[in-house]
Amino acid sequence: MSIGMNIRHDSAVTHVAGESVFIDDRPEVRGEVHVGVVGSPIARGRLISIDSKEALAHPDCLGVYTAADFHAKAWGTIKHDQPFLVVEEISYMQEAVCLIASKRRDSVEAIKKLIKVKAEETPGVFSIDEAKAKGEVLYRAASPFMQGNVDAALAQAPHCLKGVFRCGGQEHFYLESQAAIAYPLENGQVEVHSSSQHPSETQRVVAEALGIPFHQVVCVVKRMGGGFGGKESQGAPIAAYAALVANRLKRAARIVLTKDQDMMITGKRHPFQNEYEVGFDGDGRLLAVKAILQSDGGAYLDLSSSILERAMFHLDGAYYLPNVHIEGVCYRTHHHPHTAFRGFGGPQGNMTIESILEDVAHFLKKDASEVRRINLYSGQNLRTPYGQVLENNLLPEIHERLLKSANYQKRLKELTEFNSKRTGKIRGISVTATKFGISFTARFLNQANALVNLQLDGTLQVSTGATEMGQGVNTKIQQIVAHAFGLPPESVRVMPTSTEKNHNTSPTAASSGSDLNGAAALLAANRIKNRLIPLARAMFNGLSFDPTLEFEAGKEADKEADKEADTVSDSGIQFQEGRVLDSLSGKSIRLQELIQTAYQNRISLGSYAHYKTPDLGFDKTKVTGRAFNYYTQGMAVSEVEIDEYTGEMKVRRADILMDLGRSLNPGIDRGQTTGAFIQGMGWVTSEHLVYDEKRNLLSHSPTTYKIPNVQDTPREFHVDFIENPHNDRNVHGSKAVGEPPFLLGTSVWTAIKHALSYRANGKEIHLVSPATPEVILMELTRLKGM
């Protein structure tokens, strides 16, 4: 019984022992070269020339490559609008201008410095307001999300507030920077090992860059040292750089960006600037919400359109909005193209409604948790702003249980008394929620395939399109397949992801890696079992075998295996603890004996399966259909303490309660929950991207960019899961966990807002995100009238 157990991460031991192999751990092969990227010295303008004479004279330099060396000039996940290398127009600081190839790694930087890039600078656009004024629109949502009559409800509402919510970007800060190695093979083939969340896209982008058919390229992903969305799309051009050099020199080519280079070159989480108007009654019930979500997409589209739409999908948060109007616009600026990041726009939408509710409570002088309670989705047949009915809703129960287990009311009273003593410190407490839609909003991406091979010794090899970036997807797939055959998890080995084994895969993103690939692996496992069951039944009935004859039941089983089968054909035959049991007769045989007999009777012991999430389909133009398969729900209560003289903030305590259905692996889910919360907390408190006047990123290293460390984690930290046996929308009743808890980090930011309310003297609180100590101190100074 592997499902629901705390099976350790499949790489836990090798990680600790330092034996896990990442891209740059692969030993160099004979003649291997190192690739460097030369970036633009300006943020916007025209490329005049590239002088590479001195670089080519360097004894270690093997070549300099420009846009002219690429077959396809541009790439893009949704729209091919981003050049591999600058052709003429420069659109952001450090945009890749050319590549160099060096015999030695330690010569790369020296050779790069010998490249002379001449460019003509023109004024750039660096804010949403500037882009808005100049009409620099990258994407506008096809249709607004509307429900009820928002204008009439606003006109009749007893109270109204207007405002602008602003949140900044965020650096992914994965431990392994963008990296790839390309190996040229015979007949013009190339094998790429990439730190990528999307091997199939990497395969396609490399093929297009080189001008060769897709079948000439194989992309392999063993694991990544973190991804968080930053390797969903932006790892592909990095792999193409290595592949181009390998193709030209006919030598293996390696590219590994330094942390500084990676942070300066790659895109971040999208900054948002959301305008809103809200109408509410004296109890704090939201009567109408009108919002325009505005994002900074950077220089090229990347995934910005989908991210904007997911922000719109999550503007309602966990709260029912009877009258609502939501629009979305993504603006083009001359920043690095912003890209996917854990939550994929959901946090920027969800945080807006949580900020609004905190402001409503402050305006009415009410407890914000009570304002949230009366606005929670509660009851039957409640529709979201995009028309989907909320099913299996546990939000009211989670709210009640969490506030009780966190001693919310007692602590609220205590911190109110504490704040009245004027000790130079203030405390705040807040509860926020997540109702995260699980599925890709692009319907075609909700598919996966898996190959399961049952070996003669009773062990299994499983290949899927999922990529392991530390989140434990391989371990969950291992558990699913082991459970199907009644074997211990160590009997299953999940193989490196490769496009030659699993084709046209979707990215491991949208929290759907385990959902899609686990379901596909289970289908493949069940097909093998459906071939074995007739044979087992025959063996239990005493059938003897003639090796010169075909086993008729086996032929029928092979036919049945070609059909879609999400369950086994005979529930009377059970696979348990390495044996196969007949519940009718009580007889049993070793699984290995059954496998050997199947092999001798030419019954296939391997199977491929394709899975697609059922009942999905959303029309963006008409705003109709089912956008999500289900929702992962949860809430967090966070308490903070602020030093009024420095603005320094500490999280005293955090309590989280999540609905994860029937957890496949509670230990891994707990790790994902705590990690996501801390990363979300970092986004809203300390992770500040700083640029100079030329738009050079100043915070491009661990010394200048502040992610949470152990001293920033809550002094007291509680995480629990609510039992929910009613989820039948996913494999084994489980729910996705990768992104939903990230949104709960918002509770730290709203707790800061609550703390500031004790010094507001009736004024509105103007707090941006991230709420760094400087931001907090400046707002405290303003509120105190100093």
Per-residue pLDDT tens digits for 467-518: 999 999 999 999 999 999 999 999 999 999 999 999 999 999 999 999 999 9
What is the per-residue pLDDT for 560? 55
Q: Which helix (H) or strand (E) holds 65?
A: strand 61-65
Transcribe 264-298 into DSSP letters. HHS--SPPEEEEEEEEE-TT--EEEEEEEEEEEEE
Grade residue 45 by pLDDT with cuts at 50, 70 and 90.
very high
Place of tokens 């009570």: 370
Grade residue 635 by pLDDT with cuts at 50, 70 and 90.
very high
pLDDT at 559 over 80: no
Radius of gyration, CA atoms only, the chain:
28
Task: Kindly report the pTM of this predicted structure.
Answer: 0.96
- Taking CA atoms, 85 is separated from 46, 97, 328, 647, in Å, by 13, 5, 30, 44
- Residue 228 Cα to chain centre, angstroms: 5
Grade residue 381 by pLDDT with cuts at 50, 70 and 90.
confident
What is the per-residue pLDDT for 785? 86
**Amino acid, single-letter form, for residue 314:** H
pLDDT at 369 over 70: yes
Starting at the edge strand found earlier in the chain, the sheet holding 716-722 runs 425-438, 630-643, 649-659, 716-722
Distance CA 596, CA 544 (A): 14
Each residue's pLDDT tens digit, 749-775? 999 999 999 999 989 999 999 999 999
Identify the three-state secondary structure at position 427.
Answer: strand
What is the per-residue pLDDT for 561? 53
The DSSP output letter for 731 is G
Q: Name the more confident of 786 and 533.
A: 533
Distance CA 200, CA 563 (A): 26
Grade residue 557 by pLDDT with cuts at 50, 70 and 90.
low
pLDDT at 689 over 90: yes
The mean per-residue pLDDT over the stretch 244-248 comes to: 98
What is the per-residue pLDDT for 550? 61
Distance CA 403, CA 431 (A): 8
The mean per-residue pLDDT over the stretch 447-456 comes to: 98
Distance CA 125, CA 175 (A): 31
Each residue's pLDDT tens digit, 314-333? 999 999 999 999 999 999 99
Identify the three-state secondary structure at position 579.
Answer: strand
Angle, helices 746-757 vs 773-783, to 10°: value is: 30
Distance CA 525, CA 492 (A): 12
Each residue's pLDDT tens digit, 115-174? 999 999 999 999 999 999 999 999 999 999 999 999 999 999 999 999 999 999 999 999
Each residue's pLDDT tens digit, 609-627? 999 999 999 999 999 999 9
- Residue 41 Cα to chain centre, angstroms: 31
Q: Which of 208, 232, 739, 779 is catalytic?
A: 739
pLDDT at 565 over 80: no
Q: What angle do CA 73, 218, 225 make, to 5 degrees?
A: 90
Sign, CA torsion 711/714/720/726: negative
Each residue's pLDDT tens digit, 699-715? 999 999 999 999 999 99
Q: Among residues of the chain, what percentage have pLDDT more than 90?
A: 93
What average pLDDT does the structure give for the chain? 96
Strands (E), 190-256: 190-194, 217-221, 253-256
Q: Is 32 a catalytic residue?
A: no
Grade residue 571 by pLDDT with cuts at 50, 70 and 90.
confident
CB atoms within 10 A of CB 755: 26
Strands (E), 76-234: 82-83, 89-90, 96-102, 116-121, 137-140, 145-147, 159-167, 179-184, 190-194, 217-221
Tokens of 708: 């949470």
In sequence order, which residues have a C-beta less than 8 Å from that of residue 786 and are 6 or more positions away? none
Phi-psi region of 714 (alpha: psi -120 to 50; beta: other; left: phi over 0): beta
**Residues paired with residue 65 on neighbouring β-strands, in sequence order:** 99
Distance CA 335, CA 332 (A): 8
- Taking CA atoms, 336 is separated from 130, 184, 592, 731, in Å, by 16, 31, 55, 38
